[in-house]
């Protein structure tokens, strides 16, 4: 059995193959040992494999003597919110924006934050120990010592109330929004929250059947949302992903507004209202160079971290800052949440539009000039070999010298898949494309194909 490895967003793999019930059981047991707590909150998205893996993981927690509170289908930020309010660690069964056949397990502390890397490493080591000693299991609790598994039907209401309260009493009346729920965990929550705040809501992809999560919909496929917004004459659209921890917007003309532009809008709005701590926003290395230029022009400081919202959160907490996020649409409002929350970000965007007056199209166009960016996901035989692949890095240095200060290159291994991500920004689309293809060829030649 493959050992569990925590990537940038937990353990992921093909459900019932790479991520099996046996492995989920071991993860549950290891988590209970490393994070001793009277109870654990467990939620999931809408994947067909979710109940199977949730049952196995819950059994692992309970066999070590921990109680389990089953939250059912709930967005990742919903589980994080409940964890923070109840001061209990949480577990989410989800593979976020991945296809339905994948699944994942991610862990949250009793503060509602993702576990530090060092603690995840402790869990990994404990999993390995459990799997190695499978035929000689240690004595387990019996009788009253066995953990109980029970449901908490009120968790979703707690999360809804937190969302509705985020606008400080302001309403979204007068706005027509189309929300694409990705047939995921927010399908039963997002439309109702926006409607409760006064918006006119049209819902897309809000009927999950276990297999249609993220299928040609949601934040990774906003094309239908864009068409629907334009056809309906709506003010804007919101595209969530399967576990609703990210959002991408569409303006009233059907144009995509990605996480960089959203983060820029929020940064300038919060700065104007005196809510942007230290006039600084946290981003990752994937953020477009145009964002840096725009924030510098506006007098907003920019702090850059590696990819992953855990790194964004760590920087926010270390410095007492209030806003950070990623190009993918993970946005953290630290005064309101402990992790990226697509529904929260979406409703705060609507609130911003209501207060600002101009339509989203005009606001988004004014916030920054985006440099052409090309991203290639390259399947390779060994992603970990990238760090020592000198021919690749020699090519990177050559491209960077050609681009100068009006472009940049980023190569990194995926934290969850057998991929190397190649990103190039340049003054023109053609220059970015040509440079990216050169680098892709060298990556494949050096690292091999699966």
Mark residue 154 as left, alpha or beta (left: phi above 0; alpha: psi -120 to 50; beta: remaining): alpha
Give the separation between CA 89 and CA 183, rounded to whole angstroms. 26
Looking at the predicted structure, is the pLDDT value of residue 254 above 90?
yes
Give the separation between CA 105 and CA 304, rounded to whole angstroms. 27
Query: What percentage of the chain exceeds 90 in pLDDT?
Result: 87
Tokens of 431: 């220059």
Q: How many CB atoms lie within 10 A of CB 253?
A: 13
CA–chain centroid gap for 228, Å, is 25
Residue 391's pLDDT is 94
Tokens of 303: 């702090």
Give the separation between CA 414 and CA 7, rounded to whole angstroms. 8
Residue 264's pLDDT is 98
Among 16-30, 116-130, 275-289, 408-422, the minimum mean pLDDT is found in 408-422
Residue 131's pLDDT is 87
Q: Is pTM, for the whole model, over 0.95?
A: no
Give yes or no for a contact between 172 and 199, defined as CB atoms under 8 angstroms apart: yes
Give the separation between CA 309 and CA 344, rounded to whole angstroms. 15
Residue 103: name the closest of 4, 202, 199 by CA.
4
**What average pLDDT score do residues 414-438 get?**
90
Residue 410's pLDDT is 92
Residue 448's pLDDT is 87
Residue 136's pLDDT is 61
pLDDT in tens, 189-231: 999 999 999 999 999 999 999 999 999 999 999 999 999 999 9
CA Rg value for the chain: 22
Residue 417: pLDDT band by 50, 70, 90 thresholds?
A: confident
pLDDT in tens, 176-192: 999 999 999 999 999 99
Our CA dihedral for 357, 328, 372, 177, rounded to 10 degrees, sits at: -30
Looking at the predicted structure, is the pLDDT value of residue 236 above 60?
yes
Half-sphere exposure of 176 (CA within 13 A, CB side): 10
Spatial neighbors of 407 by CB under 8 A, at least 6 apart, are 289, 371, 400, 424, 425, 426, 427, 431, 432, 435
pLDDT in tens, 77-109: 999 999 999 999 999 999 999 999 999 999 999
Looking at the predicted structure, is the pLDDT value of residue 3 above 70?
no
Residue 16: pLDDT band by 50, 70, 90 thresholds?
A: very high
pLDDT in tens, 39-69: 999 999 999 999 999 999 999 999 999 999 9
Q: How many CB atoms lie within 10 A of CB 296?
A: 11
Residue 418's pLDDT is 81
20 three-state secondary structure? coil
Angle between helices 117-132 and 21-34 (to 10 degrees): 120
Looking at the predicted structure, is the pLDDT value of residue 17 above 90?
yes
Give the separation between CA 392 and CA 195, rounded to whole angstroms. 51
Looking at the predicted structure, is the pLDDT value of residue 76 above 60?
yes
**What average pLDDT score do residues 355-379 get?**
93
Looking at the predicted structure, is the pLDDT value of residue 164 above 60?
yes
* Catalytic (active-site) positions: 96
Residue 307: pLDDT band by 50, 70, 90 thresholds?
A: confident
Residue 311's pLDDT is 92
Give the separation between CA 105 and CA 414, rounded to whole angstroms. 17
Residue 344's pLDDT is 98
- b/e map 203-234, b = 16+ CB within 10 Å: bbbbebeeebbbeebbbbbbebbbebbbeeeb
pLDDT in tens, 326-343: 999 999 999 999 999 999
Only one residue has tokens 């994080």, namely: 80
pLDDT in tens, 141-159: 999 999 999 999 899 999 9
Residue 4's pLDDT is 65
Residue 450's pLDDT is 80
CA distances (Å), 149 to each of 66, 71, 80, 109, in order? 9, 11, 19, 19
Element (H, E) at 397: helix 390-403
């Amino acid at each position: 059995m493959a050992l569990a490895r925590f990537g940038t967003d937990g353990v992921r793999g093909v459900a019932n193959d790479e991520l099996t019930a046996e492995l989920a059981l071991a993860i549950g047991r290891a988590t209970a040992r490393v994070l001793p707590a009277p109870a654990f909150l467990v939620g999931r998205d809408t994947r067909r494999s979710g109940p199977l893996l949730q049952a196995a993981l819950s059994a692992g927690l309970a066999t070590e003597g921990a109680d389990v509170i089953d939250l059912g289908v709930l967005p990742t930020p919903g589980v994080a919110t409940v964890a923070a309010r109840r001061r209990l660690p949480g577990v989410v069964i989800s593979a976020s924006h991945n296809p339905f056949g994948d699944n994942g397990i991610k862990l949250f502390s009793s503060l509602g934050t993702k576990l530090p890397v060092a603690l995840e490493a402790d869990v990994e080591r404990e999993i390995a120990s459990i799997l190695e000693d499978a035929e000689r299991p240690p004595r387990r609790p019996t009788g009253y010592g066995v953990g109980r598994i029970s449901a908490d039907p009120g968790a979703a209401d707690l999360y809804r109330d937190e969302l509705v309260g985020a606008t400080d009493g302001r309403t979204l009346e007068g706005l027509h929004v189309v929300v694409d729920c990705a047939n995921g965990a927010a399908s039963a929550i997002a439309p109702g929250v926006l409607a409760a705040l006064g918006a006119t809501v049209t819902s897309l992809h809000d009927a999950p059947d276990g297999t249609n999560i993220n299928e040609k919909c949601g934040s990774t496929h906003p094309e239908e949302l864009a068409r629907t917004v334009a056809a309906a004459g709506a003010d804007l659209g919101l595209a969530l992903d399967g576990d609703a921890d990210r959002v991408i917007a569409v303006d009233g003309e059907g144009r995509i507004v990605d996480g960089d532009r959203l983060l820029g809008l929020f940064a300038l709005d919060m700065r104007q209202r005196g809510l942007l701590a230290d006039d600084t926003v946290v981003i990752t290395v994937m953020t477009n160079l145009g964002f840096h230029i725009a924030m510098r022009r506006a007098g907003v400081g920019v702090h850059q971290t590696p990819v992953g919202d855990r790194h964004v959160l760590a920087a926010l907490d270390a410095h007492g800052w209030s806003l950070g996020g990623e190009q993918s649409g993970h946005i953290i409002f630290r005064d309101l949440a402990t992790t990226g929350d697509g529904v929260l970000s979406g409703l705060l965007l609507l609130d911003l539009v209501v207060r600002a007056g101009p339509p989203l199209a005009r606001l988004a166009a004014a916030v920054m000039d985006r440099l052409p960016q090309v991203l290639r996901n390259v399947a390779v035989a060994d992603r970990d070999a990238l760090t020592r692949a000198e021919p690749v890095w020699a090519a990177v240095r050559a491209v960077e010298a050609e681009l100068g200060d009006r472009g940049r290159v980023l190569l990194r291994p995926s934290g969850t898949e057998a991929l190397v991500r190649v990103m190039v920004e340049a003054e023109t689309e053609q220059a970015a494309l040509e440079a990216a293809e050169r680098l892709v060829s060298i990556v494949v030649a050096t690292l091999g194909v699966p």
